[in-house]
Structure 1
């Protein structure tokens, strides 16, 4: 397995965290949960012209898409088939970073996937064909950078309130209300929510919850968890509040998640960002 990453410079770097590429990615588990991060992802399967997204209930039902899709900002988890990830690349946008490139508001993509062709037309097909034909990771990243630049909307900038709100709502250890942020940026609460959803894809409140959940995931990887302490440190009312959100966002209770993470660590398994490999009994 080989992983490659590339961080574009300005102006793309203000909106895109990185381009990524996996080659020869083979794992024992059949499915992964994709956990919410508050961001939008562009994903391109370079091996097969197909991607399958499974129902969160793991009932076996799935939707079939082309090999190039956009995954909107999710307020929960969904599942993917790991067999389709052998040769795959994508664009990991920063929170609120995708809207200038897709031609639609981010809230039109919330909790859903859409073929890139629906948004970019024939250019999406051409891009995938050129990426498949490219010989090296850097050639692929250069093609992706070119595609992003050609689809950027000008001027390439946020509504002034969004970066301020993202910074405030990302402070998971502070008790920041949506009303307080709206007042700080000088907008009515209704207008602020409308602007934020249009660029980020989630309501400010849901985005804040997702960032708090992500903070828990980070701390769980660093130290043996004391769930009551983590609940306080990450801004939850109590431990039961943390557990409810954790199950909602991951499909597992915190102890199940941590125990499986320990097993994967002992097996020296590679875990992708925001992926959670499903145990055999799930």
Structure 2
């Protein structure tokens, strides 16, 4: 079971989606989460539920978290454990939206997962307990929404320059070029990069690379291309070789190996080194 919805205003400017999920063990032991360039909060609700993140297919132990976590903006694939039952509530921020709640911490969270209470303190434990006591997934989302609204009262305003730059980049994700966006901002290159990274968690160049990749996998999740050279050109890559190189860099696999768990979840892939188990 997965439900999601948009938050109410004024959270809509900062948060893309609030979601809740309950499921049994997945038929694959690990799942690759491909980079989105966005920040996420994940709150596990089962009593002994542990979130485990792996740095690579060779990582046998992983890093284990018992409690709510924040996942910083990613520009590389990370693996998660999916072989146990799970009940979670999550927050998927818009690009630049998380900075209002986490200030200058986002650059340090790049490609990292950390416990949320390290940034928000003991109120995170109270929220988790309240969510565990709430049976309705819809009501859980309302509770998270209320919690974020309360924190928003003390949040810093979003950087208008960065938000404008993000809107410009989103208009042409396959051909986003940083230099004209930087010039239009009125900032010098160094200041532009610094403010962008503080708000997004990635440098402009890294973010543009992820944006192009994310647009590509939205297409690949629906169908496998017959002409990869044409696909590369349409997606904004110099040629097929460039597409393959970038795909391996961000996804940890070649494009032909990419198979989304479901078309509406293009960033979730059953990890190829950990095949589906027989029932």
- TM-score (normalizing by structure 1): 0.90
Distance 1:85 1:200, change over 3 A: farther
Q: How does 1:237-256 map to 2 (within 5 A)?
A: 237-256=238-257
State the Cα RMSD in Å.
Answer: 2.0
CA contact (8 A) 1:51 1:84 kept: no
Corresponding position: 1:277 with 2:270:
yes
Deviation at 1:164, TM superposition (A): 1.8
Q: 1:23 to 1:233 in 2, by over 3 A?
A: same
Q: What's the CA shift for 1:57?
A: 3.9
Aligned mates of 1:270, 1:174 — CA distance in 2: 24
Contact 1:55–1:61 (8 Å) recurs in 2: no
Q: Give the match for residue 142 of structure 1.
A: 142
Aligned to 2:231: 230
Say if 2:25 and 2:84, in contact at 8 Å, map to a contact too. no
Q: CA separation of 1:281/1:105 partners in 2, compared to 1, >3 Å: closer, same or farther?
A: closer
Query: Residues 1-282 of structure 1: matches in 2 within 5 Å?
Result: 2-47=1-46, 48-84=48-84, 86-152=86-152, 154=154, 157-170=157-170, 171-176=172-177, 178-225=178-225, 226-257=227-258, 260-261=259-260, 272=265, 274-279=267-272
Structure 1 unaligned blocks of 5 or more:
none
Q: CA deviation at 1:58?
A: 3.1
1-structure distance, mates of 2:50, 2:256? 35
* 1:36-92 deviations in Å (ceiling 9; x for gaps): 001000001111352111122432131111220000001101100013552112001
Per-residue CA deviations over 1:5-64 (Å, capped at 9, x if unaligned) read: 121111001111111111124320000011100100000111135211112243213111
